């Protein structure tokens, strides 16, 4: 049983470019959340997808957008990249309706460097 | 202001020693509290999960405690190993809302 998988593992972009990150949730999970983690900081919540819709959103600009597919996999898109977008992007999956809420399993992350 | 505060920010200990990490929160209403271990450049891995009715939970050499009255939790690591070097993150949930602490960076030296 594969856990949460993310691709790519590393990515280098330049300012102004656009990037797409991908996430496949753990088997049996239907909810995907995305986090941005700057070096030395805790993860910051970007948004959460369930039933192909954005259900919750953190304090991130509209440059950050996402999508969830019928197979529950998800994409995170960032437009007009800024140097400050350099971070580890984490995907976490969970199962809505679980007995204990919000038990998330994290992927290994995508390291994005913006030059 | 972050609703989950962790201390210390960083900690260096010698291999074989014990240590305790702290997590104070103001998140309300409380649903559950989790401790994660995150190796550098990797995703967090869950160590323990505690609900309101639980005040201690162990996972090998890791023991977490929870005092829901004072809104404090601690993670105690016994007989530390070099592989314990990582960041430890406290996450507190209030129903559908989760709050992350900034983490404690633990370094175990030989």
B100 and A90: CB-CB below 8 Å?
no
A40 touches chain B (CB under 8 A): yes
- To test the contact with chain B by mutation, choose from A92, A101, A109 the residue with the greatest count of B C-beta atoms within 10 A, namely A101
How does pLDDT run across A55-73, given as a tens digit for each residue? 888 889 999 999 999 999 9
B47 pLDDT more than 70: yes
What residues of A are in contact with residue B45 (Cβ under 8 Å)?
Answer: 106
A88 pLDDT more than 60: yes
pLDDT at residue number A98: 59
A109 and B100: CB-CB below 8 Å?
no
The neighbouring-strand residues paired with B7 are B22
Helix (H) or strand (E) holding A1: none
- The DSSP result for A28-94, as a single string, is T--EEEEEEE-TTS--EEEEEEETTEEEEE-S--TTEEEEE-TTS-EEEEE-S--GGG-EEEEEEEE
pLDDT at residue number A96: 79
What's the pLDDT band for A103 if we cut at 50, 70, 90? confident
Percent of the residues in chain B that have a pLDDT greater than 70, as a whole number:
96
B84 pLDDT more than 80: yes
Cis peptide before B59 (omega within 30 of 0): no
Query: Averaged over A102-108, what is the pLDDT?
Result: 84
């Amino acid at each position: 049983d594969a856990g949460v998988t993310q691709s790519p593992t590393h990515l280098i972009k330049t300012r102004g470019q656009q990037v797409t990150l991908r996430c496949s949730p753990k088997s049996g999970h239907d909810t995907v959340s995305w986090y941005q983690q700057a070096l030395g900081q805790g993860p910051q919540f970007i948004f959460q997808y369930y039933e192909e819709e954005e259900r919750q959103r953190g304090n991130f600009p509209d440059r950050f957008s996402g999508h969830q597919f019928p197979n529950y996999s998800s994409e995170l898109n960032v437009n007009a990249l800024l140097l400050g977008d350099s971070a580890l992007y984490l995907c976490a999956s969970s199962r809505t309706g679980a007995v204990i809420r919000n038990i998330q399993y994290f992927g290994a992350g995508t390291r994005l460097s913006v030059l | 202001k972050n609703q989950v505060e962790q201390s210390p920010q960083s900690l260096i200990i010698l291999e074989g020693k014990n240590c305790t990490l702290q997590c104070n929160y103001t998140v309300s209403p409380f649903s559950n509290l989790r401790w994660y271990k995150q190796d550098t450049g990797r995703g967090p891995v869950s160590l323990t999960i505690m609900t309101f009715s639980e005040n201690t939970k162990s996972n090998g050499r890791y023991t977490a405690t929870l005092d829901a009255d004072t809104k404090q939790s601690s993670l105690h690591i016994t007989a530390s190993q070099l592989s314990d070097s990582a960041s430890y993150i406290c996450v507190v949930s209030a129903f559908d809302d989760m709050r992350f602490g900034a983490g404690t960076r633990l370094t175990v030296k030989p």
